[in-house]
Amino acid sequence: MSKLKVIPEKSLTNNSRIVGLLAQLEKINAESSESDAARYVTSKILHLAQSQEKTRREMTAKGSTGMEILLSTLENTKDLQTTLNILSILVELVSAGGGRRVSFLVTKGGSQILLQLLMNASKESPPHEELMVQIHSILAKIGPKDKKFGVKARINGALNITLNLVKQNLQNHRLVLPCLQLLRVYSANSVNSVSLGKNGVVELMFKIIGPFSKKNSSLIKVALDTLAALLKSKTNARRAVDRGYVQVLLTIYVDWHRHDNRHRNMLIRKGILQSLKSVTNIKLGRKAFIDANGMKILYNTSQECLAVRTLDPLVNTSSLIMRKCFPKNRLPLPTIKSSFHFQLPVIPVTGPVAQLYSLPPEGRITGSRLLFAGS
């Protein structure tokens, strides 16, 4: 086995350090044998990526091969620590660079490689927790930038992998949070949404959301966002109505409204309303909302929110739901004719005005121009 020549770091600039490390990693990939060396090099790259924006910029710059080298290593390595190092590097790259770096990762085939890695990691029993957290965190960030992500995830079997992880780890909030974030991305695809609904995802969301609590607010917020996306599917909305979840949502909303005195959880309250808005897109949902006294509940809570300007989004969303669900009634009028009568102007028998009205319709515009021009 050949010895890896490590270049003294103090003698290099930051720019050449990352270039040299990437070159070493590429050489290790070609030899396909030195797991210890790959672990060492990727840990050094991770340290630079965590501490220097210049390094992150260099690795995602136009013409740089850094991303290809990382993804190639990720695809081929069998070493767990090397895999975790690379995933941590990718997290650093996509977390600090906005949409451009995320798109850059997608264009390099990152979605497919990460989905395949998710599939392989799920075969372990039990799956490695840190590995699953990292994969789901990255996929949740890059999924919205990949137009075909929903289809790729379904073909790779990723939907059920993520869903089963949530089912089996409901008390492990560190793992459940990135899984829920990815479920939210999956649900943007209507076919995925229906498929997840058949496997019990709607019922699962109601196990996570609940009455007012100061704990795990970020988890509840993501669960509500996911639920709102899922309920846009008519199939899932009907399932929610059949199980009485419209009444449950209203009860939860009232509880959060009463206890959130300092309005620190406005986004959670809005998330509940967004779920109600989605489920009332269908006729059954609107009927269930009326039967559950939803009109009175939202009207009363909206009245109490009017004095606080920061709660305007709650009032606006509540108004949209009430307008959509309010029964359509006839106007309380005996006739559609107006009670006001207007006297029409008297047209003179002779003169320019009479001549104008005697013209055919297509000639009246020209005649009116001449009339005003003459005056």
DSSP string, 236-298: HHHHHHHTTHHHHHHHHHHHHHHH-TT-TTHHHHHHHHHHHHHHTTSHHHHHHHHHTTHHHHH
Model pLDDT, residue 11: 36
In a domain, 357, yes or no: no
Share of the chain above pLDDT 70, in %: 89
Do 237 and 287 lie in one domain? The reply is: yes
Do 129 and 162 lie in one domain? The reply is: yes
Do 128 and 76 lie in one domain? The reply is: no
Do 92 and 174 lie in one domain? The reply is: no
Does 338 have pLDDT greater than 60? yes
């939210």: which residue's tokens?
184
Phi, psi of 334 (to 5 degrees): -70, -25
Domain count, the chain: 3
Do 315 and 215 lie in one domain? The reply is: yes
Q: Which domain holds residue 191?
A: 122-199
Does 287 have pLDDT greater than 80? yes
Mean pLDDT in residue range 311-326: 95
Looking at residue 61, the DSSP 8-state letter turns out to be S
From 108, 140, 170, the end of a domain falls on: 108
In a domain, 88, yes or no: yes
Residues 6+ apart with CB under 8 A from 271: 220, 221, 224, 225, 227, 228
In a domain, 286, yes or no: yes
Do 79 and 151 lie in one domain? The reply is: no
User: What's the pLDDT tens digit per position in 89-129?
Assistant: 999 888 876 678 888 899 999 999 999 999 999 998 889 99
Distance CA 97, CA 57 (A): 8
Whole-prediction pTM value? 0.81
From 66, 81, 108, the end of a domain falls on: 108
Do 319 and 215 lie in one domain? The reply is: yes
Distance CA 103, CA 98 (A): 9
In a domain, 103, yes or no: yes
In a domain, 158, yes or no: yes
Distance CA 225, CA 221 (A): 6
User: What's the pLDDT tens digit per position in 131-176?
Assistant: 999 999 999 999 999 999 999 999 999 999 999 999 999 999 999 9
Model pLDDT, residue 241: 96
Is 2 strand, coil or helix?
A: coil
Do 222 and 308 lie in one domain? The reply is: yes
